[in-house]
Amino acid sequence: MRKKLLLGNWKMNKTPREAKEFALASKEMVDYAIAHDIDVGVAPTYVCLQTVKENADPRLIVSAQNVNEHDHGAYTGEISIPMLQELGISWVILGHSERREYNGETSEACNAKIHALLAARMVPVYCCGESLETFEAGKTKAWVEEQIRVGLAGIAPEDAASVVIAYEPIWAIGTGKSATKEIAEDTIAFIRGILRDMFGDVADAMRILYGGSVKPGNIAEYMSEPDIDGALVGGASLALDSYRGLIEGLVK
């Protein structure tokens, strides 16, 4: 039985003061989620990680939005795994479509980062998803398969169990145009099939999230599908009320 997971991707939003306010006010929500056997977390910017970690319920997952695979060195503007570890951060989102588009992050680069994270016993949240053009051309599955096979290449099945996958069709991110639950389930079940081919039965323990304009009003629909284990949520994870609504939708 896979545990449900809600992860808020704050992208480039919230100052440290705003992030602290959210962390302090989120304690009751985290309690409610844990009581219903749901994992909940947020991914603030680097400059907010420490304040969220220090001020939130310790059971709130606090994730980075990226990491460098090298421990230290001449990589201006980068953040390393030991730096995150010192703050108690053990989750990292990788391969988000915005980072793929604006920062040239490739599946090969994600693969190196995933190996480094797994060696450090950390949890990668690896994102995949197709553009509108690819979707309309009926090439979603081939696209996503390539991202999964390259991003997770060379990972041992026993390590793969802790990897979280987020399927996020790019045409649904921040557009208000969410994929139907049938489209999401179809692609996510397909991804689980690839994972089964790569890692055997471990695939049944791996959590796969849907992301793309998930809101308090539609999250429950996705959760009714057998292969969807939770959601990676951008816009609707920023305000406390909305975040609480997402948890309530997951509980349904």
The residue with its CB nearest to ligand PEP is 234
Q: Which stretch binds ligand PEP (CB under 6 A): 19-27, 74-82, 142-150, 210-218?
A: 210-218
Cα separation, 167 vs 184, in Å, equals 8
Which one, of 150, 72, 65, lies nearest residue 115 by Cα? 150
Interface map 221-240 toward ligand PEP (x if CB under 6 A): -----------xxxxx----
Is residue 216 near ligand PEP by the rule CB under 6 A? no
Interface map 141-170 toward ligand PEP (x if CB under 6 A): ---------------------------x--
**Which of 96, 98, 105, 185 is an active site residue?**
96
Identified binder of ligand PEP from the candidate list 30, 56, 173, 203, rule CB under 6 A: 173
Q: Say if residue 18 is exposed, middle or buried (CB neighbours under 10 Å; 0-12, 13-18, 19+).
A: middle
Report the number of secondary-structure helices (H) and strands (E) in the chain: 12, 8
Say if CB 125 and CB 7 are below 8 A apart: yes
**Which of 98, 168, 185, 221 is an active site residue?**
168
**Cα dist from 89 to 64, 107, 143, whole Å:** 7, 23, 31
Closer to ligand PEP by Cβ: residue 130 or 159: 130
| Tokens encoding 184 | 């999401």
**Least distance (Å) between residue 201 CB and ligand PEP:** 29
**Cα dist from 233 to 38, 96, 108, 178, 211, whole Å:** 15, 12, 25, 11, 6
Cα separation, 228 vs 64, in Å, equals 23
Interface map 61-100 toward ligand PEP (x if CB under 6 A): ----------------------------------------
Identified binder of ligand PEP from the candidate list 4, 9, 125, 159, rule CB under 6 A: 9
- Determine whether 130 is an active site residue: no
Identified binder of ligand PEP from the candidate list 124, 129, 151, 212, rule CB under 6 A: 212
Cα separation, 79 vs 66, in Å, equals 8
Closer to ligand PEP by Cβ: residue 148 or 202: 148
| Tokens encoding 146 | 């390539």
Say if CB 80 and CB 72 are below 8 A apart: yes
- Determine whether 168 is an active site residue: yes
Identified binder of ligand PEP from the candidate list 58, 88, 157, 174, rule CB under 6 A: 174
Q: Enumerate binding residues for ligand PEP (CB under 6 A).
A: 9, 11, 168, 173-174, 211-214, 232-236
- The residues annotated with a catalytic role in the active site are 96, 168
